[in-house]
Amino acid sequence: MADKPIKTQPIKPAATVILVRPVASPQTGVGGFEIFMLRRTSKAAFAGGMYVFPGGRVDPEDHFNKYADVCTGPSIAQAPQAKALGSDHRGFWVAGIRESFEEAGLLLAYDHAGNYLSFVDSSQAERFAAMREPLHSGALELHDLCVAENLTLAVDRIHYYNRVVTPAGRPRRFDTRFFIAEAPTGQTGEHDDIETVDSIWITPQDALTQHADGEFGLMRITEMQLGEMAEHATMEALLEMASSRQKFPVSRPVLPRN
């Protein structure tokens, strides 16, 4: 009997940001790092109930030329990243920043003085948190938020890492560019209670261990990314790897046929 043909779904471009922060091991006191992860609602058509990194679809508006006026970077050192992303590279960075703020409440931007944005007090944190839903619904554009708040998007701190294409046969398919960035000090992140229902800072090794014990749902690609992150002892080592990267693997996994 001939194999059943795999139903083809349209592939949508997406951007995901792996956000990291330093943390000292309680056992050794030696500095390691944690990664911010979100648990998707079990009702989601894609990765329902799984823990994921912040990210989502690249919208056409993310590629608008006006974003050149509110971006810092890419830097000269990021030229290999920009080349690998292609001529429309800026849109992937913009989408990653937008999705990180919408889904995780972490805004990767510089303030008017050129400092990495930190929510220094509760009133500022609450004011920015109130912008997440309008941004998600389309009532507010990220570009307009930057102009109103005198911010520039911190593209120079967000490093393209690799690319994964969802295999044919999945209910939704994405061509996802993965980035790595240090989370701003003072921003702790929070799930949106819409698409995501829980959030956590966790070391890659702890996430992998809990997943192996059946307590922390991960997609195979997320597990693979965490395994690569776990090979680096410190946040500095991880960011050095990401910022100096010259090759950007493209993974195109294939589902096994029954």
Q: Is residue 165 in a domain? A: yes
Q: Is residue 157 in a domain? A: yes
Domain count within the chain: 1
Q: Where are the beta strands (DSSP E) in the chain?
A: 11-24, 31-40, 51-52, 55-57, 109-110, 152-153, 158-165, 173-182, 196-202, 250-251
pTM of the predicted structure, to 2 decimals: 0.92
Q: Is residue 152 in a domain? A: yes
* Tens digit of each residue's pLDDT (9 = 90 or more) over 72-104: 999 999 999 999 999 999 999 999 999 999 999
**What is the domain-level CATH number for residue 239?**
3.90.79.10
| Range of weakest confidence among 47-51, 137-141, 227-231 | 47-51
Residue 159: strand pairing partners: 180
Q: Find the domain containing 134 and state its range.
A: 11-248
Q: Is residue 258 in a domain? A: no
Q: Is residue 22 in a domain? A: yes
Q: Is residue 243 in a domain? A: yes
pLDDT of residue 2: 47
Tell me the pLDDT of the chain averaged across its residues: 91
